[in-house]
């Protein structure tokens, strides 16, 4: 059984905005202390793709309806997705979507459209990963489109073939970024408490896990309280002030 550790490993956080990195191994010996994936001046793997699931901007962030009108929510969703796409450079980006407006937007930010109608989030991600695997991609980095302060996603491409890298949300329950090899038939399971399920899936597959904890990657926007962001992170995109 994979031993999940939350201990911090000092000195591995070379990327701005990414905090402590905790290793999770199957040996039970505690954190994996290799510094490889997070050293300075790393070169991202050329066989890695970033997948960004993006739902309809018009229907996004309905839980914010009490504080933002439809236009403001759509502008926020679009602005956050643009920041995530920019944070993926220089890796190629695929926008996983089933909305024509989102598909049109994706082309404006240099992303390729992975059209996945009617599959839901988990089904859409599974389909997109399988298409990338069939095309010769060895690793995918799945990053949610609602990370307004996302940065340096290419660092998630630098990993051993048997490693899963995961950045939880700041509450430690969600899975904001997941980096996984395409050859292992990883079963994505987004939704409440997805972090624990994804770690358990890694254990089932015999993958080592690296947990990347950081303020910028951990901050997603779902509830009205999430709009109250720390000043040092900068302003939210779109019409939100």
**What burial class does residue 228 get, using C-beta atoms within 10 Å of its C-beta: 0-12 exposed, 13-18 middle, 19+ buried?**
exposed
Q: Domain for residue 232, yes or no?
A: no
Which pLDDT does position 33 carry in this prediction?
26
Q: Domain for residue 179, yes or no?
A: yes
Residues sharing a CB contact under 8 Å with residue 241, sequence separation 6 or more, in sequence order: 235
State what percent of residues in the chain have pLDDT above 70: 80
Q: Domain for residue 150, yes or no?
A: yes
Cis peptide before 81 (omega within 30 of 0): no
Query: Taking the CB of residue 105, how many other CB atoms lie within 10 A of it?
Result: 20
* Distance in angstroms (rounded) separating the CA atoms of residues 185 and 179: 13
For helices 100-108 and 70-87, give the axis angle rounded to 10 degrees.
40
Mean pLDDT of the chain: 84
**Lowest mean pLDDT across 15-19, 34-38, 157-161, 199-203:** 34-38
Q: Domain for residue 13, yes or no?
A: no
Mean pLDDT, to the nearest integer, of 85-109?
97
State pLDDT tens for residues 64-83: 999 999 999 999 999 999 99
Hunting for tokens 């229907």 — which residue is that?
Answer: 59
The conformation of residue 60, written as its DSSP 8-state character, comes to S
User: CA torsion, points 231, 210, 131, 54, in degrees to nearest 10?
Assistant: -20
Number of domains in the chain: 1
Q: Domain for residue 119, yes or no?
A: yes
Asked if pLDDT for residue 43 goes beyond 70, the answer is: no
**Lowest mean pLDDT across 36-40, 98-102, 138-142, 204-208:** 36-40
Structural domain including 218 reads 21-223
pLDDT confidence tier of residue 50, bands split at 50, 70 and 90: very high
Question: How much is the pTM?
Answer: 0.84
* Distance in angstroms (rounded) separating the CA atoms of residues 6 and 4: 7
Which pLDDT does position 240 carry in this prediction?
62
Which pLDDT does position 215 carry in this prediction?
95
Q: Domain for residue 61, yes or no?
A: yes
Instruction: Copy the structure tokens of residue 80.
Output: 């956050």
* Distance in angstroms (rounded) separating the CA atoms of residues 85 and 94: 9
What is the CATH number for 113?
Answer: 3.90.550.10
Q: Domain for residue 241, yes or no?
A: no
Which pLDDT does position 238 carry in this prediction?
80
Q: Domain for residue 239, yes or no?
A: no
State pLDDT tens for residues 98-134: 999 999 999 999 999 999 999 999 999 999 999 999 9
């Amino acid at each position: 059984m994979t031993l999940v550790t939350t201990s911090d490993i000092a000195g591995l956080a070379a990327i701005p905005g990414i905090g402590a990195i905790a290793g999770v191994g199957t040996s039970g010996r505690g954190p994996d202390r290799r510094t490889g994936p997070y050293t300075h001046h790393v070169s991202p793997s050329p066989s890695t793709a970033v997948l960004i699931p993006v739902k309809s901007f018009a229907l996004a962030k309905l839980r914010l309806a009490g504080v933002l009108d439809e236009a403001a929510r759509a502008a926020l969703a679009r602005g956050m997705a643009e920041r995530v796409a920019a944070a993926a450079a220089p890796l190629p980006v695929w926008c996983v979507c089933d909305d024509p407006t989102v598909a049109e937007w994706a082309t404006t930010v240099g992303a390729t459209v992975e059209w996945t109608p009617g599959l839901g989030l988990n089904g859409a991600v599974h389909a997109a990963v399988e298409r990338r695997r069939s095309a010769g991609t060895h690793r995918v980095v799945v990053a949610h489109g609602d990370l307004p302060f996302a940065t340096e996603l290419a660092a998630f491409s630098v990993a051993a073939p048997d490693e899963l890298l995961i950045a939880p949300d700041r509450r430690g329950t969600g899975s904001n970024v997941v980096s996984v090899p395409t050859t292992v038939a990883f079963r994505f399971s987004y939704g409440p408490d997805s972090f624990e399920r994804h770690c358990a899936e890694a254990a089932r597959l015999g993958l080592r896990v690296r947990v990347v904890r950081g303020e910028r990657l951990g901050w997603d926007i779902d509830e009205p309280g999430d709009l109250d962001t720390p000043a040092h992170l900068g302003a939210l995109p779109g019409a939100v002030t």
